[in-house]
Structures are given as C-alpha cells and as structure tokens.
Structure 1
Amino acid sequence: MRRQGYPTYLHREPEWDENEQWTTTHWLSNSGGAWLRDLLARGIDVVWATTWQHAANEHFAVPLGLPELPIAVSGEGSRLLGSSSWKSIQLSRQFDHRPLLWVDDNPVPSPSLALPALRLRSDRVLTRFHWIRNWDIGITEHDVRDMNEWLELTRTGHGHEELRERRRRERDRSRATFRRSRWGNEAEYQRWRAIHGRLEIALGVNQSLPHVLAWYAFDHPNGLDPVEVTELVVEWGNAETPLAAELIRIIRCGNAMGA
C-alpha cells in the first residue's frame, strides 16, 4: 500500500518505508468472496461500505475475484461518530424503496443511528444489518445461508409480510427487555404509564415535565416530597404549571389507577 491514496479517515498511519509504501497481510474469507460473486451473478447490486473507501477496489477486489464496485460511503466524517455510525448515516440516504442488507463486524452503538431507524419508514422492514461477530473468521457459510434466506424474503409480497412479522416480534422483545431493565416488570411499567398519562393530560404532551415527574414518582413509591416536586416544577415547568400540591394529587390518582 502506498502513502498516496491511503485512507486517513479512521485509519492509523502505518510505518511507511523509504519508498512511502507499507506491506502487510490481510486475511479474506473464501465463503464471503464466493457469496459476493454469487450475488453479482444473480444481478444483485453490491457496493463497498468501508473506511477503506476507494482503496477497497485497489487492494481487495482482485483477491476476492470481484470487479470494481461502487463506493457507498466516502469522505471525512466526525471522528466522534465512529466508523459504524458514519457508514449508517451515509447508507440511509441511498437506495430508497429498495431492500438493503449491510454486512459489517462493527454494530452501531446508538439505536437512534442504527440503519433501520434512519431509513424511510416504509423501507425499514426491508433493511437489515448482519453482524459478523468474529472479524478474524469473517463471513461463514452459516452467515451466507442466513443472509440468502433474508434476501429471498425481500423478493415477494409474502416474504415482506414475514419480514414485517419478524420486525414486530423483535420490537416486542426489545420493548419487553427494556421494560424489565427499567421498571422491573409489566405491572410497574403500567403504573408509571398511568402516572405519565395523567400528567400529560394536565400539562401537555409537548413538555419534559410529565416525563420528569413520572420518573420521580416511580422512584419514590413510599411518598412524594412537595419541596422536591416544587424544585422540579421550577426547573422544568413554566408559568402555567400547577402547584406541587395539585401535581401530587394527579400523581396519586395515577398510582391508584396503576394499582
């Protein structure tokens, strides 16, 4: 690899020799290479989504038996994002109304920046991130079977229904996991939700105060301190916000309904 053209974004500079070259070894997956060639043979578009950017074609296409492929992510992004978020943002702005399978060994850490969350709502069911969990091994035959099965489902209306059902089940599992981690069980979540709902009716849905007070009430099941509630009102409320005594009454009614 040569210094000229080496991708500097999110890549550490290697030790260049006197000719401004660097020699190293990269291990490539035979299963992955064969799968990519098969995708191209089936007429499926394949693009690079890598921090190597244009250097991917120069260094990796020939060993994998691939033609020059389009580059789907490029340029200099914020180093605060990290490589996976940088890729997710760029991929989400392309391929509208088309199935999109992204294969990578580095998941996006923030759910709000995950590829399905960033794509058009109508495209989310046709969006998949496939995580290669062991980058030393790369794409395996098991990965290939799993991804091919998903791609086949994107081809028909029946397959789309199956993908929607899978998405619903996954969303339900994620919600249940989150509720257990934060509220402990479904009954406690319903108690919090009742409080939150009554506060939204009283204060309006476009305020932060209902959320803040609901969490305060949830974290203080044995009693509410009027002084602390007043402090929250001062910090998060406005001139139209009811006094602490009225808010405590609303919260207690919510507690009773949740019980």
Structure 2
Amino acid sequence: MKPLLLIDVDGPLNPYAAKPRRHPEGYTTHRMRPTGWTSAESAKPLRVWLNPGHGPELLALADAYELVWATTWKDEANDWIGPHLGLPRLPFVDWPVMHGRAPRGTFWKTQYVLEYAGSRPFAWIDDDITAMDHEYVDRLHPARALLMRIDERIGLTRTDFDALAQWAEAVCPRKGGRGR
C-alpha cells in the first residue's frame, strides 16, 4: 500500500505570506470565495496564489503516494484549488474540530493527521509543523512519517518535490525505480 501524501493548501500551494501584491515567480492570482471565508472588506474575495506547475509535480508523486487534502479548505480544495492545478478530486481529511486545542503544544491538525493515517506511512506538507509535532508523531505513529514544514512565503519548491519522491522510494521501493 502506498504511503499517504497529506497536502495543505495555504502555505505549501498558496504562499500567502509572500510580499503583498507580489506573488512569487511562476504563480498566478486567483480570487475565491470558499465557504466560511470572511474578510474585513466583506465584498472582497480571498486572494490565492497558485503555481500551475505544482499540479504535474503532484500528479508525478501520485505514482508513489495516495494524495489527500489536509487543509482547512477540506473538500472545497477539490472545487477551488484542484482545477487550477489540473488535479482530480482527492480524498480529504474532514477535521472533526478546526483550530481547537491540541495535545502537548502541537499544531491542532497533528492529532487528526495521525487518526487519518492510522498505521500507514505518510508524508505531510504544511506551514505550521513544529518540532513538537515531529516529537508527537515520532512517539505515537507506528509507521514511518515525513513532516515537511513549508515556508509560507515561498511555497513548495523543486527541492521539496525531490525530497518527497526520495522519501517515498525509501519507504516503499518500486520495481524498476521511480520512472522519472
């Protein structure tokens, strides 16, 4: 069974903390109104920067991983994010509680990521992962896990995609190599 690749949107795919009005190279601007989006300027939609090159990179990783949204966008990532990247509908973590209390100083998502993963190996890309999350996962998860903190000013990079491919190959080697 393939490991999971748990994908956050804001930070890894949408480098929301980049300099205002200056998206990183390769990104395009989109205006979106996902459910629950509220803005100080109520008529103004959410600005999202997406790199169309990330879709093919994620699809290439789908040979080695089961791709899953692990974002507060939940299933709406399939409607608002996936189409801009050329991704099919993906399963998603349906957080039972968002932004709630977290065990021992961990990020609120971490406990639910472990519940979703069960005993499967997983890689998780998010901009809020801390050393406490690494410690928590190392202590409680029965399989291998890769937690990658992605800089929310930069988003995913070539180095990140290479690291994800290498980790998957080490966890679940495929006959004939990676095919890339």
TM-score tier after normalising by the smaller chain length: 0.5 to 0.7
**Structure 2 residue 159 is matched with structure 1 residue 142:** yes
Q: Determine if contact 2:57/2:161 at 8 Å carries over to the other structure.
A: yes
Q: Determine if contact 1:101/1:130 at 8 Å carries over to the other structure.
A: yes
**In structure 2, C-alpha distance between the alignment counterparts of 1:153 and 1:112, rounded to whole Å:** 19
Same amino acid, percent of matched pairs:
27
The two structures, once aligned, show a CA RMSD in angstroms of 2.8
1:24 to 46, 49, 55: 46
- In structure 1, the residue matched to 2:36 is 6
Higher relative strand content: 2
- In structure 1, the residue matched to 2:169 is 152
CA drift at 1:73: 3.9
After TM superposition, the score normalised by the length of structure 2 is: 0.65
Q: Determine if contact 1:48/1:56 at 8 Å carries over to the other structure.
A: yes
Q: How has the CA–CA distance of structure 1 residues 93 and 2 changed in structure 2, closer, same or farther, with 3 Å as cutoff?
A: same
Gap runs ≥5 in structure 1 = 8-12, 157-259
CA drift at 1:81: 3.3
After TM superposition, the score normalised by the length of structure 1 is: 0.47
Q: How many residue pairs are counted as aligned between the two chains?
A: 140
Gap runs ≥5 in structure 2 = 1-31, 174-180
Task: Output one character per residue of 1:90-116: Cα deviation in whole Å (capped at 9) or x when no partner.
Answer: 111133342200011111363587333
**Structure 2 residue 145 is matched with structure 1 residue 127:** yes
1:56 to 74, 77, 83: 77
Q: Determine if contact 1:103/1:129 at 8 Å carries over to the other structure.
A: yes
- In structure 2, the residue matched to 1:243 is none
SS in 2 for 1:150: helix
Computing the radius of gyration from Cα coordinates, the structure with the larger value is: 1
Q: How has the CA–CA distance of structure 1 residues 136 and 77 changed in structure 2, closer, same or farther, with 3 Å as cutoff?
A: closer
**In structure 2, C-alpha distance between the alignment counterparts of 1:113 and 1:64, rounded to whole Å:** 33
